[in-house]
Structures are given as C-alpha cells and as structure tokens.
C-alpha cells in the first residue's frame, strides 16, 4: 500500500521567512512547530537570541522535518517501515594521562622565562608541590645549575642565569 508523503519543506523558503517574517515566528509555523512559534512570538524570539540561533540551525531543522515526514525529495513513499537514524557522538574516552615532566625539567623550563626564582614562584607556576620543589631546587644548587641568594629582605631566591 502506497502512501503520499507530505510535501517537503524548502530551506530557501524557511530562511526567507526567518529573515523577513522571523519577528512573527513564520519560519517556526512553516516547519509545523506551532508551540515554539507561539513561544517565540510571545517572547520576542526569546529576546532575539532564538532568532540568532535559528540562523545557524534552521537548515538542520528543515532536514529533520523532511526526514521525519519521510521526504526524500517528495513524491510517493512506497516503504511503510522507514527508520530515522540519528547519529550520536559517543562520549570521548578519558585522555591518557600525560607523562609527568620531572621536577628538574619544570624548574629549568621556568627559569628560561624567569632567571631568578623563589620557591613560591616555582610552586605557583608548575605542578610541583612545595616539598617537591624545594628538594629539586636543592639538587640543582648542588649540581651547580643554580645559586642560592639571600636578598636584603631575607627572602631566599635561586639564580639560574
């Protein structure tokens, strides 16, 4: 048994209605979305935001209308059991944990930007904890890669220049 399909909707007509008569929700009524049309009409297109969103989504709304009404270009629909397939993106797998960069490398990389550092700067600008930063700086000082300096204010700094 053949059934007559509903006449497909045109994207061009939908966009023309959106542009010229969007203020009165003509594009929503054209696509058979009476409830949304009334909501848009009563809320000034959701304060204009809905009208802007429709600029980007109206083409897909027309495609969805045509798919739901079994329109593949119009004409007669000879299949009684058609399925509408909706592709849904699977949730992304949790990213693999990044390899941890050693404390020495993090401090040396930071010292390229800021040659004289305090422990507070190292902790705030790397992912090192206080104890880890202090231990790494002591190793770098012992290897001669940094010099400990005590400022006139008593603040300990490390010179990597």
Return the pLDDT at 77.
Answer: 47
Residue 94 to residues 90, 91, 97, 98: CA-CA distances in angstroms?
A: 12, 9, 9, 11
Average per-residue pLDDT for the chain: 83
Model pLDDT, residue 120: 87
Q: Could you tell me the sign of the dihedral formed by the alpha carbons of 101, 127, 134, 137, in that order? A: positive
Q: What is the pTM of this model?
A: 0.43
pLDDT given at position 5: 61
The pLDDT assigned to 76 comes to: 45
Contact 8, 68 (CB under 8 A): no
In this prediction, residue 56 carries a pLDDT of 93
Task: Give the CATH fold of the 103-159 domain.
Answer: Arc Repressor Mutant, subunit A (1.10.10)
Interacting residues of 156 by C-beta distance below 8 A, sequence separation 6+: 118, 119, 148, 149, 150
The residue extents of the domains of the chain are 3-77, 103-159
Per-residue confidence (pLDDT) for residue 4, from 0 to 100: 62
> Which residues are paired to 157 by β-bridges?
149
Q: Which residues of the chain have pLDDT under 50?
A: 73-78
Determine the pLDDT at residue 60: 93
């Amino acid at each position: 048994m053949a059934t007559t399909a509903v006449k497909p909707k045109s994207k061009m007509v939908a966009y023309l209605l959106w542009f010229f008569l969007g203020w009165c929700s003509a594009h929503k009524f054209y696509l058979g979305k009476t409830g949304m049309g009334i909501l848009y009409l009563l809320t000034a297109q959701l304060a204009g935001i809905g009208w802007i969103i429709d600029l980007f989504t109206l083409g897909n709304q027309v495609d969805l209308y045509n798919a739901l009404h079994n329109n593949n270009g119009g004409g007669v629909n000879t299949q009684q059991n058609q399925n509408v397939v909706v592709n849904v993106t699977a949730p992304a797998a949790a990213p693999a944990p990044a390899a941890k960069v050693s404390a020495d490398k993090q401090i040396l990389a930071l010292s390229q930007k800021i040659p004289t550092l305090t422990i507070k700067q190292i902790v705030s600008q790397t992912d090192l904890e206080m104890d880890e930063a202090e231990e790494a700086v002591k190793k770098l000082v012992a290897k001669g890669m940094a010099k400990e300096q005590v400022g006139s204010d008593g603040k300990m700094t490390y010179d990597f220049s």
